[in-house]
Structure 1
């Protein structure tokens, strides 16, 4: 379980050993001289555009070879491993799928290829009528979740992960309430935590729609709005609670939101939740739930804090389903254009890009900025220039954020300026272009931003401004561009391709990600020699 073995795969031929034969040595010497001349010729050609294009293609081929070799190595090692299973397949969209965990290769956990094959009742599958077949994350997660297994899911946003955990949650409620009439004042059985209000509302919309046909009721709890309607809904009885940690904690402390019967818990964007400082609140909330619970965690990365949380609250042998790669990678359906420019020229350049990408003022364009005050400044600048724009940020009230998002989604105002609050998990349909006016603080946020376009198999464009102030992230950005087969501008390479070591606030630069199956730490004691006579 956990990460793949970090085996070093040799991609260059190993030098042949010399023999005692003089003629062989002479030939080897000539060959080396010839190779040296050839190397010099290659060095002269390195800076040509043709050479760079070839390098990009060769690099992608080499990465494919490495993945293929790693895959063979895993399959070979699994022959001698009867306890934990590791299964690798490729989805219809050519994304690699890795499933690890105890008994993961059992026949009962085989991928679900059709909705009928999932074994879910028709009234539960009512919400899936618009889809041809389950998405990769759904097809692999459903068999485990419906069997009551704890699961860790790593999949890109827009991959159908909400229904991947949503339908098993509905089935969990139906099985628990079997043959019982929905009673007023019933306590919730499922809890879903989200880092942001917008993502919580999006999950709620999906679950409310999915639960209509089978009588499963959900409620969304988040701050910035009145507690009155939320309290009334909880008192009338609810099956699934979805929300942000802060508001849920408030209602728990008031004695209104009672979680003692919750036996199915989902942490969506778990890494982001801890990044935002919710760790203690999340721990407190989980401590209120039933001790015999099923846990589901979706997380883009697997840092130490998330690992400890999983180790404390999950089964010792959770299943891990990875669709795509655990390494940071962007959606390949998005054309990434990176423009290195002076920071003072960004306003003028943004207006020029809107003339190019948003001339009709009908297609959806999302402009990302870094700070809350930037949203107001850029929004006013665009409005003064005759552009119809809205914005969302943490400074706005929940009513204003919801209204702006609604106007953007329904096409009434298809140009929106946003901070990263809108980047995580939000499913905004048909966003054609993303413009990164300010580069984010991390490459993870960059990948999430550009993931707002190119969704559901459609193509998209992400145009990014990169300035001198962002040079510390140039190496990571170059890697993301190369992995996706995108053009790396020469101006970006001038900043260097060095990638800084990942750091932890607690452990510094020596921090590394911990695999899921890492053993728990043990206390070692020694006899005290000072006590000897």
Structure 2
């Protein structure tokens, strides 16, 4: 039986009863008179029972048996899931190292001088240039195939997964390009010779760190130009003379317009993460900056994906048929060294599940774990929640001052605070050593960003784990995620396939879904002219 109604509930019932009587009165002419009294007597007890049952269900006793059973079933489900994950992780770690296929296309790519390098010695580079490669046994696939073309001055498009050694793939040829220029008055040089454009500050800083270290032994000076911080030190570095400029489009364009940065002597240009730059709306800045460089220049583009917008940019600023090196799949594909675990759950369960996973993956609180969220405010909230529960965490997001972002990244990289919450500003290009686990607290807006996020682990041949929370609101990306999981030989949970496996056709920003993907080596369209005369 239901519990006894209080005064408020009794009044509510009285209102329902009056409402029901009014409705029946309106339709009384449709009911035979001899059935009217019987119908009222039968309906009222039903209404009371219905209200009592609903009240009983909606207001269970606190800490009741039902609540305990529910909590117990959730805990048992999580334990079972974690146990299965542990088994699959052991199997994953025993997988043999996968050899990635490399496809090279373009004009005259079959010549013997462009053969892939099997060792650093085959590159025949000076010792001071290869000083930064001492810790590696041999060139990575993208380096082995790209260096012969880049060292020969060819324009090149490189498509490879994150963590594949792309920075040195274009960095070593940049150093050789500088050494190949006339060294007369090099110590007094003011204008740079090489330019690297990056979509985010964090990626620009990382590239600068690598090139600064690589350039020490051969005297190549570099400067990193990015917003969110004072222009003073950057202007001072430019005035003192540098060979390499690494920068984000916004700050670099500002300094060009101020007359501080002159790119007239730049003859080696790199667009790193070109697809991301265009997605972020930097196309006008990129075009403006490229117009400031030498008309005769070597162009290099590195990207993880090859959308039509990047292809159009390549057609305008590169040779008609540039060399294209694709490591792995040109389609969207995740790093196969990362074990992907996808878990479908609701929004309210995420905090508790995140803490449970940290107790599993970050128990010693010494290994690096990176937690990705979608929004800036969400990053601050999750950071505060973890700190209240006793976890030592830092965060990186767009609302933080650049100084605080740099400090948080340093604490995470150095292992002083090995748990970091971040938005997608840390998803692309960042080479943070020994990140063992990535947890996607919120699924990103695109599957491309998902691939980049999980690419923060499993780098340099090491194995990694990516644990992802997938919710009802993300169902539109379920099909693409299923394809990524299957391509990498990962387990596809049944709860994910319930959302469907349909993949929506990618749309052009200008022409919607009615456009055709064009390969980089496709011939240019021919212009057809017609006689304006109507006379025969």
TM tier relative to shorter chain = 0.7 to 0.9
Are the aligned partners of 2:162 and 2:304 in contact in 1 as well (CA < 8 Å)?
no
Q: How far 1:93 sits from its partner (Å)?
A: 4.6
Which protein is bigger by CA-based radius of gyration? 2
Counterpart CA distance in 2 for 1:288 and 1:433 is 42
Pairing partner for 1:102 from 82, 94, 107: 107
Partner residue, 2:274: 270
TM-score by length of 2: 0.81
Partner residue, 2:141: 136
Partner residue, 1:112: 117
1:488 aligns with 2:492: yes
Q: How far 1:528 sits from its partner (Å)?
A: 4.4
Partner residue, 1:7: none
Pairing partner for 1:457 from 454, 457, 461: 461
1:392 aligns with 2:396: yes
Are the aligned partners of 2:191 and 2:263 in contact in 1 as well (CA < 8 Å)?
yes
Partner residue, 1:443: 447
Partner residue, 1:162: 167
Which deviates the most, 201-210 or 517-526?
A: 517-526
Partner residue, 1:187: 191
Counterpart CA distance in 2 for 1:97 and 1:523 is 35
* CA shift digits 1:246-281 (9 cap, x unpaired): 111011011110000000000000000000000010
1:373 aligns with 2:387: no
Equivalence map 1:225-244=2 (5 Å): 225-244=229-248
Counterpart CA distance in 1 for 2:330 and 2:152 is 25
SS at match of 1:186: coil
Counterpart CA distance in 1 for 2:423 and 2:515 is 28
Pairing partner for 1:515 from 514, 519, 531: 519
Pairing partner for 1:172 from 173, 177, 184: 177
Are the aligned partners of 1:369 and 1:418 in contact in 2 as well (CA < 8 Å)?
yes
Gaps of 5+ in 1: 1-91
Counterpart CA distance in 1 for 2:280 and 2:212 is 27
1:423 aligns with 2:427: yes
Which deviates the most, 183-192 or 473-482?
A: 183-192
Partner residue, 1:343: 347
Partner residue, 1:532: 535
Are the aligned partners of 1:192 and 1:241 in contact in 2 as well (CA < 8 Å)?
yes
Counterpart CA distance in 1 for 2:245 and 2:153 is 19
Q: How far 1:352 sits from its partner (Å)?
A: 1.1
TM-score by length of 1: 0.81
Q: How far 1:139 sits from its partner (Å)?
A: 0.7
Question: Using a 3 Å threshold, how does the CA distance of structure 1 residues 181 and 527 change in structure 2: closer, same or farther?
Answer: closer
Partner residue, 1:217: 221
Q: How far 1:185 sits from its partner (Å)?
A: 4.6
Which deviates the most, 302-311 or 470-479?
A: 302-311
SS at match of 1:298: strand
SS at match of 2:252: helix
